[in-house]
Structure 1
Amino acid sequence: MPHLLKILLTAAVVAAPSLAIADPAPREPYGINLEGYPYPYPVQTFGVVSGGEQLTMAYMDVAAAQPNGRAVVLLHGRNFPSSYWAPVIKMLSEAGYRVVVPDQIGFGKSSKPSGDLHFDDLARNTMALLDTLGITKADIVAHSLGGMLGIRIARAYPDRVDHLVLTAPIGLEDYRLYVPPTPTEKIIANEDKLTADGYRKQLETNYALKLPPDQVTPFIDARFNIKGSPDYPRWLRAFVASAQMLYREPVAHEIPLITRPTLFIMGADDHNAPGKPNAPEPLRAKMGQNADLARKLAAEMPNGRAEVLPDTGHLVFLEAPGRYRELVLDFLSK
């Protein structure tokens, strides 16, 4: 028995270290156009030329359950693939709307350009897509960075927009008034060294998320599984180009000029302000007062209205789906 006990103890000592140092499962790499990342509806593609490059724009085109003859275009934020619109797509489709959900160039399953991004180009691409689909007029429902694009579309193409819903939009202030210009290479270096855990904390802090961790994980995967792609540097440069776009091309000054009926739906706890950590300390507290900014801007518009949802952060439509549904469907029906 003593000899047997010695053998068992030796085996346990040998086995234990292998358990202690086991590495987490490696991430299954996605392509930089999110190949391998599932979307809730079939994805189609549309060719565009931007900055002299032939690029491909991905989109979902979801039919209405019982068509009311109207279409809604959903515009995604910077840190999210358009797949996160899934519950809103279902909501609108069931209410009778055809729902078009593009990934803008530089994002999601669309091509990643090598040059700069511009809101005017994204607006033209979106209108060209609607032309191809035979949609002459649509409602625009936008979130975060998509709100800045929605504002540009409503200003440039007012005759093609019925209603504009700005869901927790950024760009309600001109960030150049607070944040000094940052070289692209510096932003690339900072983004490249960010870890998955650090990114999760960044989302939770910047967006005041009220979601359980498992609902945030797909956003982490959508970004960090791309690191396994050999084309990751191209994706990273395009991602940083979007940060420079929102900084260099403010839209806040255009908002009071929008004539189309516009509804802001804001989370009371959402104080997201891109570039805030780079602003001088005395100015940081002035940034990101988004609910107050939305109320002020809505009051300056001919057809503006702001609704602020308590205990809600940046992902309004996921955090307060019931109230969001009521507000959007009621607004679009008028």
Structure 2
Amino acid sequence: MNSTTVRGATIEYDDFGPSTGVPILLVHGHPFDRTLWAPQVTALTAAGYRVVAPDLRGYGRSSVTPGKVLLADFADDLAALLDHLGVERAVVGGVSMGGQITMEFQLRHPERVRALVLSDTSAPAETAEGKEFRNQLADRLLAEGMDGYAHEVIDKMLAAYNVTALPDVATRVLEMMCATDPRGAAAALRGRAERPDYRDVLAAVRAPVLVVVGADDVYTPVAQAESIRRLVPDSTLAVIEKAGHLPGVEQPERFNAALLEFLAARM
């Protein structure tokens, strides 16, 4: 594990694999940390790629910025981290909120993108109802902490059947959620509530894009992934069977196979 200060925040990150390998930047979702990507880090580095996986500000072991953190803040943090590492261009991939940060990165730093990986995410701007929900949830997390929320949503983060079928995975995901600092989670929720519409951004992407979704994702269903695929001129869709919102941890072998096939063909 490594640490650096970017834009006033201390960011903890992993940097694995050969320095000469194609760099891949992996962006976790809410409310997780970089260890969400452990199965992908193992597979990618074994295939010769360089993998950078940070804890976003407010998550994992990175420092907390209370109040509100916009997706633009996260994207600029990632660009600054790449600067620190001397990486000009990378494959950038994210899941859920991390996918939206990846789209924001494409908006703000398109010249740094070799390819995109968008897992279980959505492109439209937040709705009025969604904005109210996220701000109320932020208030709740600050007042109550993470535990109650984490246990309420575990059967949506994972496909409900995987909570019992994959108890070790469910435990690991719950532990990540419960360990998150409520101030960081709340700040991200308030910022995410103000996210813009990324559909025009996606339509303008000329880099190759892999769209991944769990077949039984209830947060961002297959139909949303298909809508992203239709928007992007050069895109591939992989539907991961027997998975929900986090196919990279629920079905890592299938997820990794789709990812490695895409990279081998396009990098």
Distance 2:145 2:99 in 1: 26
How far residue 213 of structure 1 moved from its aligned partner, in angstroms, is 2.3
Against the structure 1 CA distance between its residues 167 and 179, is the aligned structure 2 distance closer, same or farther, given a 3 Å change threshold?
closer
Cα contact 2:27–2:95 (8 A) shared by 1:
yes
Show the counterpart of 2:173: 219
Q: What is the DSSP-based 3-state SS (H/G/I as helix, E as strand, rest coil) of the residue aligned with 1:292?
A: helix
**Alignment partner of 1:263 is 2:213:** no
* More divergent stretch after superposition (241-250 vs 131-140): 241-250
Change in 2 beyond 3 A, CA 1:174/1:271: farther
SS in 2 for 1:306: strand
Q: Which residue of 2 aligns with 1:63?
A: 17
Q: Which residue of structure 2 lines up, in the alignment, with residue 202 of structure 1?
A: 153
Letter matched to residue 44 of structure 1? N
Equivalent residue number for residue 111 of structure 1: 63
What is the distance in 2 between the residues matched to 1:137 and 1:181?
36
Contact 2:242 2:251 (8 Å CA) reproduced: no
The offset of 1:141, in angstroms, is 2.0
SS of 1:302 mapped into structure 2: coil
Q: What is the aligned partner in structure 2 of residue 126 from structure 1?
A: 78
Q: Contact conserved, 1:152 with 1:251, CA < 8 A, in 2?
A: no
CA 1:301–1:321 in 2, change beyond 3 Å: closer, same or farther? same
In structure 2, the partner of 1:36 is none
> Cα–Cα, structure 1 residues 184 and 291, in superposed 2: closer, same or farther, change >3 Å?
closer
Correspondence for 1:156: 108
Which residue type is aligned with residue 243 of structure 1?
A: L
The number of equivalent residue pairs is 261
Tell me: CA distance 1:147–1:242, structure 2 relative to 1, closer, same or farther (3 Å). same
Q: Residues 174 and 94 from structure 1, CA distance in 2 versus in 1: closer, same or farther, beyond 3 angstroms?
A: same
Q: Evaluate the alpha carbon distance shift between residue 165 and residue 78 of structure 1 in structure 2; reply closer, same or farther with a 3 A threshold.
A: same
| Alpha-carbon shift at residue 205 of structure 1 (Å) | 3.2
**AA aligned opposite 2:246:** L
Task: Note the C-alpha offset of 1:194.
Answer: 6.4
Q: Quickly say closer, same or farther: Cα 1:203–1:172, change in 2 above 3 A.
A: farther
Q: Structure 1's 121 and 224: CA in aligned 2 closer, same or farther, altered over 3 A?
A: closer
Structure 2 distance, partners of 1:44, 1:92, is: 19
In structure 2, the residue corresponding to 1:175 is in which secondary structure? coil
Q: Cα distance, 1:221 vs. partner?
A: 2.9
Mapped to 2, the partners of 1:158 and 1:260 lie a distance apart of 9
Q: Is the 8 A contact 1:142 1:167 kept in 2?
A: yes
Give, as a single letter, the amino acid of the residue that structure 2 aligns with 1:101: A
Per the TM alignment, residue 155 of structure 1 is displaced from its structure 2 partner at its CA by: 2.3
Counterpart residue number, 1:240: 186
The answer to which of 145-154 and 312-321 deviates more is 312-321
RMSD: 2.4
Q: How far 1:143 moved relative to its partner?
A: 1.1
The 8 Å contact of residues 66 and 187 in structure 2, kept in 1 or not, is answered as: no
Query: 2: distance between equivalents of 1:198 and 1:181?
Result: 17
- 1:193: Cα distance to partner? 3.4
* Cα 1:244–1:311 shift into 2, 3 Å: same
Identity score, percent: 26
Amino acid at match of 2:228: L
Q: 2: CA distance between counterparts of 1:61 and 1:165?
A: 18
Per the alignment, residue 124 of structure 2 pairs with 173
TM-score normalised per structure 1: 0.71
Deviation of the 1:183 alpha carbon: 8.1
Equivalent residue letter for 1:162: R
1:198 CA drift (Å): 5.8
